Amino acid sequence: MPFAPAPARVPPPAFEAFRTLHRAPYLAYARAHLPAALAAAVVTETFATLARHWQTLVSSVNPTADAWDHLSHEVRRHATPLPLTTPLTTDCVLRYDALVLAALGYGPTATAAVTGRDPDKIRCLTRTTATPAPRTAVTGGAQGREEPQGGPHSSRC
């Protein structure tokens, strides 16, 4: 008697909502570093990994930050950093990520939502230098764009 194939696992609705909210910025970030097909594959595999470990992820202190860190790591595994006009040190990956997202048109609040970090931290990281523009052609719209609020001393780092 042949066995029926196991039914496909359906991701929980919370995962589907998370993927819906984060797919576009994850893909924009990946496409800034990788050819389109590879970027799509990295993002797809990242979400597959997140789905497999969803219960562990959502029980962590900051699931959004953990998910972003996984994506950022996977993109860095496949690409070299963009040649930003601002020199970056390798000791602050989040600063690099925030600057790339800023160059893609994401404001501090949107970047904070995507990376799971505090908006004031993102403002601090992105205002320490002029917002860089990658020397490569990075195009595409960003959902959730907004203008930075306050002056250079509106929040503490």
**Residue 47 domain-assigned?**
yes
Q: What tens digit of pLDDT does each residue of 73-132 get?
A: 999 999 877 766 555 554 588 999 999 999 999 999 999 999 999 999 999 998 865 544
| Structural domain containing residue 88 | 13-127
Instruction: Say what the pTM is.
Output: 0.74
Q: Is residue 154 part of a domain?
A: no
Residue 97: its H or E element = helix 93-103
Q: Domain total for the chain?
A: 1
DSSP at 68? H
Exposure of 53 by Cβ count < 10 A (0-12 exposed, 13-18 middle, 19+ buried)? Answer: middle
In a domain, 91, yes or no: yes
| Residue 8 domain flag | no
d(CA 17, CA 136): 32
Question: How much is the pLDDT for 102?
Answer: 95
Higher pLDDT, 17 or 150: 17
